Amino acid sequence: MYCPKCNSENPEGVKFCVNCGNQLDNGVSKDNAYQNYNQNYNQAQPYQQPNYVQPPAASTEDEHMTVGGWIGVFCINLIPCVGSLVYIIMMFVWAFGSTPKKSLKTFAKAQLLMMAIAIVLVIILFIIIFAVVSSSTHNAYSYYSYY
């Protein structure tokens, strides 16, 4: 018995080819097996070189800030008179603009969030201080008004 896939001879009664493992049909002659083998061989794809895919180049969005870059970010505050204003403006630009540095974008968003929390806490503190001062001055005036 001959295998129709690889055309190798197999002992009688086996159900699978001993060479390639293909399931055998018991009624296949040598000529039919040879024709099937040729058809299978002609349909097979020719050997192709494997395509080696190069890894994608690192995008600039995944790049991290360098030490010099971070020093430059913090040195913006050292500009006389307008440094803090420029720093806040740049935080908005970096947080919501199209900066290629993901770490800078994340830092700017966190910095703006911390600034917002600090402003809210300062406002609450001023309200408490104003309430305490106004109540103490009111008590002082009411104390002296009885004399």
Domain range annotation of the chain: 1-42, 60-144
- CB of 6 closer than 8 Å to CB of 20: yes
The most confident of the ranges 71-75, 110-114, 143-147 is 110-114
84 pLDDT above the threshold of 70: yes
Tokens 């969005």, located at residue: 61
Q: Which residues contact 102 (CB under 8 A, 6 or more apart)?
A: 61, 62, 63, 64
From residue 140, how far is each of 23, 41, 82, 128, 145 by CA, in Å?
107, 108, 42, 18, 9
* Residue 115: pLDDT band with limits 50, 70, 90: very high
* Residue 57: pLDDT band with limits 50, 70, 90: low
Is the alpha carbon torsion for 115, 117, 119, 122 positive or negative? negative
DSSP 3-state of 69: helix
Q: For residue 35, which of 3, 78, 72 has the smallest C-alpha distance?
A: 3
Q: For residue 63, which of 95, 105, 94 has the smallest C-alpha distance?
A: 105
- CB of 30 closer than 8 Å to CB of 2: yes
State the pLDDT at residue 142. Answer: 57
* Residue 138: pLDDT band with limits 50, 70, 90: low
State the pLDDT at residue 119. Answer: 96
* Residue 66: pLDDT band with limits 50, 70, 90: confident
Amino acid letter, residue 6: C
124 pLDDT above the threshold of 90: yes
More confident residue, 58 or 79: 79
